[in-house]
Amino acid sequence: MKVHFKKTGVVALCTILNLVCIQRVVSQDHKGKPNVIIVLVDDMGYKDVGFNGCEDIPTPNIDRIAANGVKFTNGYVTNPVCGPSRAGLITGRYQDRFGFGRNPLFAPNDIKQGLPLSEETLATVLKREGYQSMAIGKWHLGGHKELRPLKRGFDEFFGFLTGGHYYFPEDWILNDLSELTSQYSAYKTKLLRNDTRVNETEYLTDALSREAVSFISTKRETPFFLYLAYNAPHAPLQATEKYLNRFRHIENKKRRTYAAMVSAVDDGVGLLLNALESSGLDKNTIVYFLSDNGGPEVHNGSDNGPLREGKGWLYEGGLRVPFAMQWKGTIPSGITYHDPIISLDIFATVSAVSGAEPKNKLDGVNLLPFLTGKKRSVPHQALYWRQFDKGSYAIRTNDLKLVNATGKLDELFNLDRDISENENIIDRQVRMKKKCERLLEDWMSDLKEPIFLGLSHDKQYNQLHPDRYDIEKY
């Protein structure tokens, strides 16, 4: 394992109040139920945070999470596109086990277009342990009324249901789903607070940050779970002058706007961390930061650094993401953790430390013993990926990765020596190739074919479902 650990009456009254506050925190600690915050960004490049070496976009607040705890240099997600990756994260299970192998279409009449009801979300599991939960931002796990956040374990929701959204309030001109005419017209809907449309006036990223701070500022008596899913820096590339003015030195217009969008997220993370600290909740709160997949460099100006390709690919650029975690007082600060981990481990870790018992078998592992040094082995013997429509797959075991990114050619790379996946060593590693093939075959024997048509099937889906936006159906 590779780890680096980097007046008298008033006084009396204040003393009593302080003791009460301390006792409350101690009581929460004794119950073993820390608060949980997951900050998930969308389409961020691996090298677009300071803790991964970014030089042109300062991210001091995101970097605070890594400095307060651990940065994962080999942190992965379960799929290189948004929807399936989020399904894996929120269930703690490889999404292909339950047929979520495609990016879902926005089809509010179709209960199959999203996360199956057979699956528990992290919010559902934590609710049984007394947690209050809120989902903020991008959902993308189903638009049907039975698939929305309040039906999937969350007590509160503020955001939008589809896979993307415009950032400026003046573009939110649709009052209801009945006004939709196409997949991407949902980007124009007014935001939802729970199940009600609201008239929001702030830049979207700022509004999501505001709601996150508001949520945690009111939570004291019970443990909470906050799922803060920014859609930034996903396209369309839109930023306010406040953030654009910080990056006038960046000549490339696309990169400049992208940088402004990342900076807006960083500001929000700073407000969130400050609120935790000022409320005295920071030592009893686990905070995660990660992206849902790698950056689509050509499309949004992101930078995956030395990693090959990006969003949509099973090469490292599509799967290895900025990933950090803090739990002050429990995880030592300044750790750099090099062994491969995956977003599935968030669910497994949180359920373990909160005493929750999921009904479904998880694919992740509790990382806490590995981060505190109680376990010296690697968390995973192998990590797996599949893209059904491409016929592509990949497996990483130790430093070796077998990948078929196009459905046509198997390649084998030593990621420790060749992070950019340039040198295919498959002809020199016949035994390892066969081992990886056996492991992949066993894993894929438990997977399902996709249960719904995806984004690339939009035209086909419309032909099969002419009532797609006939909301009166329910």
d(CA 143, CA 105): 9
pLDDT of residue 76: 99
Q: What is the DSSP string of 434-472?
A: HHHHHHHHHHHTT----SS-BGGGHHHHHHH-TTTT-GG
Position 15 confidence tier, pLDDT thresholds 50, 70, 90: very low
Residue with tokens 């089809």: 107
Residues sharing a CB contact under 8 Å with residue 62, sequence separation 6 or more, in sequence order: 49, 50, 51, 265, 266, 269, 289, 322, 324
What tokens were used for 384? 């797996």
Mean pLDDT of the chain: 93
pLDDT at site 47: 98
Q: Does the pLDDT of residue 320 top 90, yes or no?
A: yes
Q: How many CB atoms lie within 10 A of CB 57?
A: 25
Best CA proximity match to 296, nearest among 315, 281, 279: 315
Residue partners of 391: CB distance under 8 A and separation at least 6: 404, 406, 407
- The pLDDT tens digits of the residues spanning 324-350 come to 999 999 999 999 999 999 999 999 999
Single pTM value for the model: 0.93
Residue 20 to residue 22: CA distance in whole angstroms? 5
Alpha helices (H) along 80-133 = 82-91, 122-127
Find the helix or strand (DSSP H, E) in which 23 lies. Answer: helix 8-31
Domain ranges of the chain: 3-381, 384-473
What whole-number distance in Å separates Cα of residue 194 and Cα of residue 156? Answer: 6
- pLDDT of residue 22 exceeding 50, the answer is no
Instruction: Give me the mean pLDDT over the 30-38 stretch.
Output: 83
Residue 31, pLDDT score: 64
Q: Which position has the higher pLDDT, 167 or 26? A: 167
The rounded distance, in Å, linking the Cα atoms of 273 and 333 is 15
> Does residue 201 contact residue 168 with C-beta atoms inside 8 Å?
no
Q: What is the pLDDT of residues 240-269, one digit of tens each?
A: 999 999 999 999 999 999 999 999 999 999
- pLDDT mean over 117-145: 97
| Residue tagged 């799922």 (tokens) | 227
User: Spelled out in words, what is the top-level CATH class assigned to the domain 384-473?
Assistant: alpha beta
Residues acting as catalytic residues = 82, 140
Residue 329: how many CB atoms within 10 A of its CB? 11
Residue 239 has pLDDT above 50, yes or no: yes
More confident residue, 450 or 218: 450
Q: What is the per-residue pLDDT for 472?
A: 59
For 3-381, CATH number out of 1.10.238.10, 3.40.720.10, 3.40.640.10, 3.30.2320.80 equals: 3.40.720.10
The distance of Cα 32 from the centroid of its chain, to the nearest Å, equals 24
Using CB atoms within 10 Å of the CB of residue 9, give its burial: 0 to 12 exposed, 13 to 18 middle, 19+ buried.
Answer: exposed
Rounded average pLDDT over 27-53: 87
Q: Tens digits of per-residue pLDDT, 110-119?
A: 999 999 999 9
Lowest mean pLDDT among 10-24, 293-307, 312-326: 10-24
Cα→Cα distances 155→79, 127, 152, 324, 418, Å? 27, 9, 9, 26, 45
Same fold, 3-381 and 384-473: no
Beta bridge partners of 85: none
Q: Tens of pLDDT along 372-408? A: 999 999 999 999 999 999 999 999 999 999 999 999 9
